[in-house]
Structures are given as C-alpha cells and as structure tokens.
Amino acid sequence: MSEAMNPEAMCTAQPAAPGAAAPVSDHLVETRDVTVRYDHTKEALHPTSLSFDAGTVTALIGPSGCGKSTFLRCLNLMNREIGFTRKVLAILEEEGVAYEHIPSGIDSISVLMRGEKFTSAKEKKVVARIKRELAPDSVIVTHDYAVVMVVGEGMAFSSGMLAKATGALAEHGINISMVNQGASEISFMIGIKGEDRDKAVRALYAAFFEK
C-alpha cells in the first residue's frame, strides 16, 4: 500500500569538517590520491582522485566492498562526530518540536516534521540554535514537502520494488528528493514536493495494482 502524508517541513544539517581549508581549485570539492589503510597495511581504498562541481549530482557505483562508503567518509567526518544527531534532537525537544522521521546520509541528517507544527518563529529559533551550538556547514529548511510511504510485508522477498516505484514516479514527471528504507525491508519512504503528493499516489497505485 502507499500512503502520502501531509506536506512536511524538512530540516537538513551538515556538520563542519574539522580544519576545513579554503578551496584550491575551480571545483566545489576535489580529492587527490585519497588512500585509506587499516593497521598501516590493509589498503581499503586505492589512491582515488575525483572532482565535484557545484550544481551537479554524482553517483558512486561499484560492487560491495570496493570502497564507496570509505571514500565518502573521507569527505565528511560526521560519522566520527559523537552525539551530533542526539544534540540536534535535543534542541528540537527543548523547543517543543516533534519530528516524524530522521532519514540520514553519510554526511548529513534530515529531520521531517509536520509543517503546521514548525511555525516561522520555531523555525528561526531552532535554526539559530543549531548554527550557534553545533556549527554545521549548512542548515537547509524545505517547506511544502510530502512523504510517500510504500508498505508491504512481501517486499522483503521481492526484488526491484524500489526501482518499480521510482520508475513510476519518473514516468509521471515527479522529482524525487529523498529515498529511505528501513532494515526490515517491508517499507520505503520517498520524499517529493507537496504539490505532487496526489499524483504520486495515483502513479504508484497504477504501477503496483493496475499493471
């Protein structure tokens, strides 16, 4: 089954990398011969050089164990910063803001909350506290956001379910800004613009039940 929640507000915070230096090239991010070794012997990542330009989306694709996650961890050390997520949630709790979901990536966390509960006054206070107390690289608040949940007990034993859902949305011109799946594999969550909520539910229903 698919279910669309009312438009949400999404707050994304990225912690600052310690000792970050000023850019030395025309690229937004550039790496040169990044290598990771464990115990000074086992090489987990061969020398890797990549550049990323502003306004582009880059996907790292490869087999399990090839070093994708290891490389990304080198770009931002949020996963080594103990307590960052707890501190963000503590600020929300102290300000009386309830959240719905916390999808996270390797270098950022997102907190989804009901738009009507996250008033303009609350937003200004929460964002100011996160910036002041946690000093992240950036805090981005997105309004008119919707979350579509696709749920089914049989999903854990079926392949291609997420691809089927994202393909159906793409066919209807619906842009996806976030995807998150729980470890149980019986549901996944897709973030879209609030204005596309009803169209997304119809597209998913047609893909899963009418074809």
Handedness of CA 157, 162, 164, 169 (dihedral sign): positive
pLDDT digits (tens, 9 = 90+) for 23-80: 455 767 777 777 777 666 677 777 888 887 877 877 788 777 777 777 777 766 555 5
CA dist 49 → 14, 19, 62 (Å): 23, 20, 16
Are the CB atoms for 174 and 202 separated by under 8 Å?
no
pLDDT digits (tens, 9 = 90+) for 90-113: 999 999 999 888 887 767 788 998
pTM: 0.59
Phi, psi of 47 (to 5 degrees): -50, 120
What H or E segment, with its residue span, contains residue 144?
strand 136-151
Helix (H, G, I), strand (E, B) or coil at 187: strand
